Amino acid sequence: MNKKQTRREFIKVTAAASTAAGIGVTLFPGMTFADQKSGTNWHKSVCRYCGVGCGVMIGEKGGKIVKVKGDAQNTINKGHLCVKAFYLPKAVNAKTRLHHPMIRKNGKLVKASWDEAMKLVATKFNDIRKNHGGNALAFYGSGQAETEETYMANKLFKGCIGTNNVEGNPRLCMASAVGGYLTSLGADEPAGTYEDIEKTELFFLAGSNTAEAHPIVFERIMRHKAMNPNVKIIILDPRKTPTDQVADLHLFPKPGYDLAVFNAMAHILIKEGFADDAFIKNHLFFKDNKKNKHSFEEYKKFLEDYTPEIAEEISGVPAKDIVKAARMFGKAKTAMSMWTMGLNQRKRGVWANNLVHNLHLITGKIGVPGSDSFSLTGQPNACGGVREGGGLCHLLPGHHLVVKEAHREKVAKVWGVPASNIQPKPGKHTIAMFSALNAGEIKGMYIMCTNPAQSLPNAKKYWKGLKEQFIVVAESFFPTMTTEYADVVLPASFWTEKEGVYGCTERRSQYMPQITDPQGEAKWDAFILRDLGKEMGFEREFAKYETAEIMWDEYRGLTKGKDMNLMGASYNRLKKVRGLVWPVPTENHPGTYKRFTDGDPIYDALPAEKKKGRRMYFYGPKAKDGRATVWMRPHDGPGEPTSAEYPFALTTGRILEQWHTMTMTGTSPQLNRSVPHAYVEINPADARSKGITNKDQVIIETRRGEMQFEARVIDRPIPGTIFVPWHWPDKPINVLCSDIFDPGSKEPEYKVAAARIRKV
């Protein structure tokens, strides 16, 4: 009964969207358009929410944000937006926007002046630094902060205060992907871009509910499949999700037991002749867990332990489905894997990433149009601001490392600080940092644009440190669970009230203009940090940062000659175009669709002898001889396996209509109506055996506590698995999640916790 969608109808949809965005007079080329009829000015910008990075046109009328629509000229979303973005004006104009600084006095947060607040923070931080050393201070930032904001934080903490305790919430979502890319391909971030979506024959979506977490990417996948019925889609997820609308094959592993499935797929791919011998010979190393090199033959031997039957035993995925998946992957001329938290938020997140890369490397399905091993990023600027901007404890801006003396010297010189200011040892990673806060080792923390009291795993455990130590929270919204513990809350400008750059999943950096004045006394986060630096005595170091562009240009300079070269992405240019995909070394370079191969300026500049006999050269900082690495990662289960006492695997995730801790989406009644409260999904078979019926109140209990939810009895999670979306502050499921983390990436295993469930 499906009406057949013709190519013409698709074009019609897109064309409608384009005309809508194109009406009116151009005020600034590529940037601002006036619609004289309605009196609305439309400004080109980027969606505030997810890592897809959709282009938006923001409608402003009389200094107020009135509407948000898709930017038809943006290559990512071509005018389309998901429902969250549609309601963004509600967040901008919300009652819960914070308009003035607040200081805790006698246990209560009371309104204060900027002057008083800044003096207090500076004095406190300086005291702590003097009495306990720089490492008693810490910064905790966000993949939603602009690159310029994270850049200021890095300079203040790493360059001036002298501590590498600089972290951010991307540690909780993308660290394993970073680890995967660095160890497998030698450089962070994907080789391909979204352009591959329309060129591929097969999607392998592993641990990603793309339809809800990356809606516009999913829309592109769906459209591509609708127009090309031969395109196949394999899903690997312990839960059926709305993404299943497009599935040709779904593999259901028990949560945390999928590593064997990837190895078994590799096993079949090689056994059935799908390996690309030429690519293997000239482009790859094989290594075991101890980093010892092996031959392809030895890798094959390693895979003998992973027959589909053995993988079935470990994972619960039927052997025949694994074989089928491997054959589909092998037979397709091109294949694109995409994954997110289902693989990253795991005790073996890096390994899971490596094993997906393996599939592409051994079949040579990488570096050609339509083939890529493509990690989807959760937040809008996790790639740009934190991975590239160096907002983690071991990094410096522009893919530099704190452990490298030359890198410290280079960055210190640009910052105008002595190189000895930058510690040679990485600081504390997120979980270690909040543990140190609990222990009183860290005595002061600056939290920007994120809500760790709700979002940390095993969150309650870390409330102690937040309560006891000196906490500064810079936020646009109030209250949040984190401001409850703040000693000082600083009102931050939001989205349309500041300019800056966001870098999304596909290496694309996009500019966002300031459209309106900050509300109330709110200030731009980068300026707050700059002024705090001055107040703390770093007057000279922060004197020059009068505009966002000065910060961006300084940062951009640090990327010169790096794999993530952004020298060609000046504000001037970014204002006119719909983002640029790095490496983009010069102002006239168009950006790079595929890395490590023809058309990549870094590859093209390599001497001919290096490229001889190859089509890719993995030149990244962690690669040797231009080769990528196939890792022999053995099977490993979750950190907290189920037991007789806790027989269910609890897993968590996003839904389409809400975002993170709801400070933004919670401001839209329309979105709240859609999914008004938290719930737990339970398989009908499990519900029957537990005497639970739909909409019953149930208690979920893990080793960390219990919480009450409404049951949604539905054939989505596999038996033995329960699912809770994580957004609601009155039901912060992360309190129940496990904080066991990946020893490599230090990313916690949100995705598997042993739990039990009972009817109230």
Helix (H, G, I), strand (E, B) or coil at 643: coil
Contact criterion met (CB below 8 Å) for 72 and 17? yes
List, in order, residues 6 or more apart from 49 with CB less than 8 Å away. Answer: 82, 84, 85, 88, 380, 659, 664
- Residue 662 engages other proteins in binding (rule: CB under 8 A): yes
Minimum distance, C-beta of residue 384 to other proteins, in the bound complex (Å): 23
Within residues 411-450, the interface with other proteins by CB under 8 A covers: none
Which CB, 557 or 669, lies closer to other proteins? 669
Contact partner at residue 219 from other proteins, ligand SF4, none, CB < 5 to 8 Å by partner kind: other proteins
Closer to ligand SF4 by CB, 332 or 671: give it. Answer: 671
108 binds other proteins (CB under 8 A): yes
Number of shown-chain residues binding other proteins (CB under 8 A): 71
- Cβ 336 vs Cβ 220: under 8 Å: no
Q: In this structure, what token pair is assigned to residue 260?
A: 């064997």
Q: Which does 581 bind (CB under 5 to 8 A by kind): ligand SF4, other proteins, none?
A: none
Identify the bridge partners of residue 759 per DSSP, sorted by sequence position.
698
Among the residues of 495-619, which ranges form H helices? 525-535, 539-542, 548-558, 571-576, 601-604, 608-611
Nearer to ligand SF4, 84 or 124 (CB): 84
Of 185 and 522, nearer to other proteins (C-beta) is: 522
Binding site for ligand SF4 (CB under 6 A): 47, 49-50, 52-54, 77, 81-82, 84-85, 215-216
* Min separation Cβ 193 and other proteins, Å: 20
If phi > 0 it is left, if psi is from -120 to 50 it is alpha, else beta; for residue 711 that is beta
Q: How far is the CB of 482 from ligand SF4 (least distance, A)?
A: 22
Return the one option of other proteins, ligand SF4, none that residue 52 interacts with (CB less than 5 to 8 A, by type).
Answer: ligand SF4
Q: Is 211 exposed, middle or buried (0-12, 13-18, 19+ CB in 10 A)?
A: buried
Cβ neighbours for 698, distance < 8 A, ≥ 6 positions apart:
680, 682, 692, 708, 709, 710, 711, 757, 758, 759, 760
The secondary structure element, H or E, covering residue 754 is: strand 753-759
- Residue 604 φ/ψ, nearest 5 degrees: -60, -30
- Is the CB of 179 or the CB of 215 nearer to ligand SF4? 215
- Nearer Cβ to other proteins (17/259): 17
User: How far lies 59's CA from each of 91, 201, 218, 319, 433, in Å?
Assistant: 14, 38, 26, 53, 41
Residue 79 binds to other proteins (criterion: CB under 8 A):
yes
The residue among 100 and 327 lying less far from other proteins, judged by its C-beta, is: 100
Q: Which does residue 655 touch among ligand SF4, other proteins, none (CB within 5 to 8 A, set by kind)?
A: other proteins
Can you tell me the distance from the alpha carbon of 314 to that of 318, in angstroms, rounded to the nearest whole number? 10
Residue 664 Cβ vs ligand SF4, minimum distance, rounded to whole Å: 10
Amino acid at 124: K
- Rounded distance between C-alpha atoms, residue 340 and residue 348, angstroms: 14
Q: Tokens representing 202? A: 């097969």
Closest contact distance (angstroms) between CB of 80 and other proteins is 6
Q: In terms of CB distance, is 372 or 657 closer to other proteins?
A: 657
Q: Which is nearer to ligand SF4, 85 or 383 (CB)?
A: 85
| Candidate segments 96-104, 428-436, 535-543, 558-566, binder of other proteins by CB under 8 A | 96-104
3 or 612, CB closer to other proteins?
Answer: 3
The number of C-alpha atoms within 13 Å of 127 and in the hemisphere containing its C-beta is: 9
The interface partner of residue 466, options being ligand SF4, other proteins, none and the CB cut-off 5 to 8 Å by kind, is: none
Structure tokens at 617: 């050269």
Dihedral sign (CA 112, 139, 85, 581): positive
Residue 446 Cβ vs other proteins, minimum distance, rounded to whole Å: 20
- For residue 675, the partner it binds in other proteins, ligand SF4, none, with Cβ less than 5 to 8 A by kind, is other proteins
User: Residues 457 to 516: which contact other proteins by CB under 8 A?
Assistant: 478-479, 481, 484-485
Determine which residue in the list 11, 110, 406, 760 makes contact with other proteins, applying CB under 8 A.
110
Scan residues 239-298 and list those touching other proteins (CB under 8 A): 240, 242, 244-245
The token pair that represents 18 in the structure block: 């384009």
Shortest distance, position 562 Cβ to other proteins, whole Å: 35
Q: How far apart are CA 62 and CA 591, in angstroms?
A: 37
362 binds, among ligand SF4, other proteins, none (CB under 5 to 8 A by kind): none
Contact pick of 289, 689, 693, 708 for other proteins (by CB under 8 A): 693
Report in angstroms the alpha-carbon separations of 377 from 50, 75, 343: 8, 18, 12
- In the complex, what is the shortest distance from the CB of residue 754 to ligand SF4, in angstroms, rounded to a whole number? 32
Nearer to ligand SF4, 81 or 558 (CB): 81
Task: Confirm if 353 and 150 have CB atoms less than 8 A apart.
Answer: no
Pick from 239, 250, 196: nearest CA to 220: 196
Report in angstroms how near the CB of residue 85 gets to ligand SF4 at its nearest: 3
320 binds other proteins (CB under 8 A): no
Strands 679-682 and 705-713: parallel
Partner residues linked to 167 by β-bridges: 140
CA end-to-end span of the chain: 43
Is-contact 201 171, C-beta < 8 A? no
* Closer residue to other proteins in complex, CB, 479/634: 479
Pairing mode of beta strands 108-111, 400-401: unpaired
Label the pairing between strands 753-759 and 32-35: unpaired
- DSSP letter, residue 52: T
Cα separations in angstroms, 550 against 37, 383, 398, 458, 544: 37, 21, 16, 40, 8
Would you state the torsion angle of the CA atoms of residues 596, 602, 603, 605, taken in this order, to the nearest 10 degrees? 180
Task: Decide if residue 95 touches other proteins (CB under 8 A).
Answer: yes
Indicate which single residue of 297, 625, 645, 730 sits in contact with other proteins (rule: CB under 8 A): 730
Q: Which is nearer to other proteins, 583 or 666 (CB)?
A: 666
CB of 498 to other proteins, least distance (A): 21
In the complex, the smallest distance separating the C-beta of residue 261 from other proteins, rounded to whole angstroms, is: 24
268's contact among other proteins, ligand SF4, none, with CB below 5 to 8 A by partner kind, is none
Binding window for other proteins (CB under 8 A); candidates: 88-96, 117-125, 318-326, 534-542: 88-96
Task: Give min distance, CB of 214 to ligand SF4, in A.
Answer: 6
Binding status of residue 10 toward other proteins by CB under 8 A: yes
- Interacting residues with other proteins between 324 and 353 (CB under 8 A): none
Smallest gap from Cβ 39 to other proteins, in A, equals 21
Kindly state whether residue 653 participates in binding other proteins, applying the rule CB under 8 A: no
CB of 533: closest distance to ligand SF4 in angstroms? Answer: 32
Question: Which residue lies nearer to ligand SF4 by CB, 378 or 583?
Answer: 378
Q: Does 673 help bind other proteins (rule: CB under 8 A)?
A: yes
Query: Per CB under 8 A, which region of 104-112, 170-178, 187-195, 750-758 contacts other proteins?
Result: 104-112
Is 4 one of the binding residues for other proteins (CB under 8 A)? Answer: yes
Residue 34, strand partner residues: 25, 41
CB 506 within 8 A of CB 190: yes
* Shortest Å distance, C-beta 242 to ligand SF4: 14
- 3-class DSSP state for residue 504? coil
Per the structure block, which two tokens stand in for 515?
A: 């459209």
Site for other proteins in 201-230 (CB under 8 A): 211-212, 215-216, 218-219, 222-223, 226
